[in-house]
A and B are shown apart, each in its own frame.
Chain A
Amino acid sequence: MGVLMEVKNLVTRFYTQEGVVYAVNDVSYVLNERETLGVVGESGSGKSVHALSIMRLIAMPPGKIEKGEVLFQGRDLLKLKNEEMRLVRGAEIAMIFQDPMTSLNPVLTIGTQITEALKLHMGMDNKAATERAAELLTMVGIPDAKRRLKNFPHQFSGGMRQRVMIAMALSCNPKLLIADEPTTALDVTIQAQIIELIKNLRDQFGMAIIWISHDLGVVAGLSDTVQVMYGGRIVERGPVEEVFGDTRHPYTLGLLRSLPRHDTSNNRERLVQIEGAPPDMRKPPTGCPFAPRCTYKIAKCEEQMPPLMPGPEAHEEHLKACWIDVRNGQPLPEAMETQHV
């Protein structure tokens, strides 16, 4: 599998009246073709802003992509002209959002909205576009597609609207689908339907997916690679079995321990809670953003942000940004070395 996209040192900030929000701080990773990357984090972790930065959908001002590169098939998206970027959005990279009602235009029929992209990016005429639109709706499991094309967004339920969004996103066979919390607003039985649909379409279309979620369960079931974000940084990243099975960052570990499970009994034990609250990104801590809440922390954690590095005896693609070996709570040699430099 070849490299599809490379994000290098991405930094995004918002210049608001209350101060500068350091939303994304030096995020770098490689996404392969056909890879599903799950991005996990809480509100304010920078997971959504990083995706919007890739799509160049950050409102500027107040937002600003300060630096970095987003090499999509070798081209730096951040250097494209606006008109060039418009040809990338929808055609090569598509995005679906949490709330399908606010992402659809309420005064246009579903048909008009799906065919718009087909006509713009694929050069189809009205008839061909309408036919393709009906095919797409059938594919995402909307019955009676021809008739439904004439309906308006409010005539669909939440789950159906998300299916319409998916149909629109896939209309031009994108190579990358970015899904920003697409099932968060849906009920679990509908969420299961949508995830099943996405899994089938992923294999059918051969596209890569960046799936952004706060739900570790959804990400566990869907992703090849997981990336945990906190305070605008990647704190842990690796193959899904490694991140969940051989967790190396105290934040990921804390999250997994704090979650009760419905498939095992005897979970009436007190939950292991993470103390404190996520950092205010207007005043990010100087060192590791998790240090103020971390039970393993040493002095160095508050002084210097650890780089993303493989842990001792961990899978080579399994990286974490932490000075500590969470398996024994001891500082890593890297933490000691740099201290004396």
Chain B
Amino acid sequence: MSSAPAAAPAATTHDAQGRELVVSVSNLKKHFPISSGVIVQRQVGAVKAVDGVSFNVYKGETLGLVGESGCGKSTTGRTVLQLYKPTAGSVKFEGHELTTMGGNELRNMRRKMQMIFQDPFASLNPRMSVGNIVSEPLKIHNVIQNKVELQEYVEALLQRVGLNPYYVNRYPHEFSGGQRQRIGIARALALRPTFIVADEPISALDVSIQAQVVNLLEDLQEEFNLTYLFIAHDLSMVRHICDRVAVMYLGKIVEIGPTDVVYDNPLHPYTQALLSAVPVPDPMVERNRQRIILKGDVPSPARPPVGCNFNTRCPVALSGICYQDPDPELVEMEPGHFVACHRVTPF
């Protein structure tokens, strides 16, 4: 792994506290149109998958993005990487605005930002050998021309993620779920990115394999100085792996802050309910826990409620303000800990 591919120049940027920014997202929106009509298609509405999300990701940290299915966490990850074209908002990567980029310019930026997918069965082409899967990014970006060098680089990469380099000519179906996820990780690492979006990288794996993959991700982060956006619904694993966590509900961030602060002192009623719903593998603790059981389901993002998005399930919603526009904004309640809730913030 000595011959690292050349990377695009980085413009370093810092926030007010002097921390180095890798990604800066502001007011990001992604709306998917709902069309109707047989002959003439017209737009009758929009699924507001991501509806005004702002956050920073700092150099070397892991930011967790948690929430239930349909809350927009995966869409946020994909929109940040410009795999979806955002409806509105800005995404700055190492100081460069991505949303206005196109073609070659964007392709060059992609070298430095990669993705690990949830489903290791669907995200690897079954007709390509492991060697081809891992070397494809290198060929597309024309990083290593020499065939022998390429082969050596790929084998070293496989070794680094815990796979036998001897497997280079095998096909994905010959591997277990954990091994496939390692192939996906090797592919993401091939171009030596600085930023990786990991979209539920362990959800599809068996319990005894999850720790292996998490440990690998942590080792690689240290070794290659990586910055992660870690999308997950497993709140226990998020507490373990993330420095900061953002909780999403119906396309918006409702709470964001340092992981221990948010877990020990959750301020948003949704975060409180979410944490209280997670079972703990300890019968003594479980027996004495008081759960906040939320009523009902998440509303459709095509028809979000008027006022605060959480008002249909909120156990402490106030009649009046919580049911009127505008939605609550994120307010800093203690250093670095932001919450969007009328009940918490003074009004």
- Enumerate chain A interface residues (CB-CB to B < 8 A): 42-43, 157, 159-160, 187-193, 195-196, 214-221, 223, 240-241, 244-245, 251, 254-256, 258-263, 265, 267-268, 270-275, 277-278, 293
Docked Cα-Cα span, A238 to B140, in Å, equals 56
Whether the pair A244, B283 counts as a contact (CB closer than 8 A) is: yes
Chain B 139-173 per-residue mask, 1 if CB under 8 angstroms from chain A, else 0: 00000000000000000000000000000000000
Minimum CB–CB distance for B203 against chain A, Å? 11
* 17 extra interface residue pairs, beta carbon distance < 8 Å, beyond A187-B68, A214-B206, A265-B260: A43-B206, A195-B279, A196-B291, A216-B207, A217-B279, A217-B280, A218-B279, A221-B289, A245-B283, A245-B284, A259-B207, A262-B235, A262-B275, A267-B239, A271-B214, A272-B211, A274-B208
Whether the pair B281, A216 counts as a contact (CB closer than 8 A) is: yes
Determine which of A159, A220, A268 lies in contact with B283 in the assembled complex, contact meaning CB atoms within 8 Å. Answer: A220
Whether the pair B240, A217 counts as a contact (CB closer than 8 A) is: no
Whether the pair B297, A259 counts as a contact (CB closer than 8 A) is: no
B69 within 8 A of A: yes
Whether the pair B215, A220 counts as a contact (CB closer than 8 A) is: no
Whether the pair B283, A241 counts as a contact (CB closer than 8 A) is: yes
Residues on A with beta carbons closer than 8 Å to the beta carbon of B211: 258-259, 271-274
> What residue of chain B has the Cβ atom nearest to residue A197's Cβ?
B293
Chain B 202-214 per-residue mask, 1 if CB under 8 angstroms from chain A, else 0: 0000111111101
Minimum CB–CB distance for A273 against chain B, Å? 4
Determine which of B207, B277, B278, B294 lies in contact with A42 in the assembled complex, contact meaning CB atoms within 8 Å. Answer: B207
B323 within 8 A of A: no
Docked Cα-Cα span, A334 to B289, in Å, equals 40
Whether the pair B285, A263 counts as a contact (CB closer than 8 A) is: yes
Whether the pair A258, B275 counts as a contact (CB closer than 8 A) is: no
- Enumerate chain B interface residues (CB-CB to A < 8 A): 68-69, 176, 178-179, 206-212, 214-215, 218, 233, 235-240, 260, 263-264, 273-287, 289, 291, 293-294, 297-298
Residues on A with beta carbons closer than 8 Å to the beta carbon of B283: 220-221, 223, 240-241, 244-245
Minimum CB–CB distance for A161 against chain B, Å? 11
Docked Cα-Cα span, A241 to B178, in Å, equals 31
What are 23 A-to-B residue pairs whose CB atoms are below 8 Å?
A187-B68, A187-B233, A189-B293, A191-B277, A192-B277, A192-B291, A192-B294, A196-B293, A216-B207, A217-B286, A220-B279, A221-B289, A241-B283, A244-B281, A244-B283, A260-B239, A263-B263, A267-B239, A267-B240, A270-B215, A273-B215, A278-B206, A278-B208
> What residue of chain A has the Cβ atom nearest to residue B297's Cβ?
A157
Docked Cα-Cα span, A141 to B285, in Å, equals 27
Residues on B with beta carbons closer than 8 Å to the beta carbon of A251: 208
Determine which of B209, B277, B280, B286 lies in contact with A188 in the assembled complex, contact meaning CB atoms within 8 Å. Answer: B277
Docked Cα-Cα span, A292 to B344, in Å, equals 53
Whether the pair B278, A188 counts as a contact (CB closer than 8 A) is: yes
Minimum CB–CB distance for B301 against chain A, Å? 13
Residues on B with beta carbons closer than 8 Å to the beta carbon of A215: 279
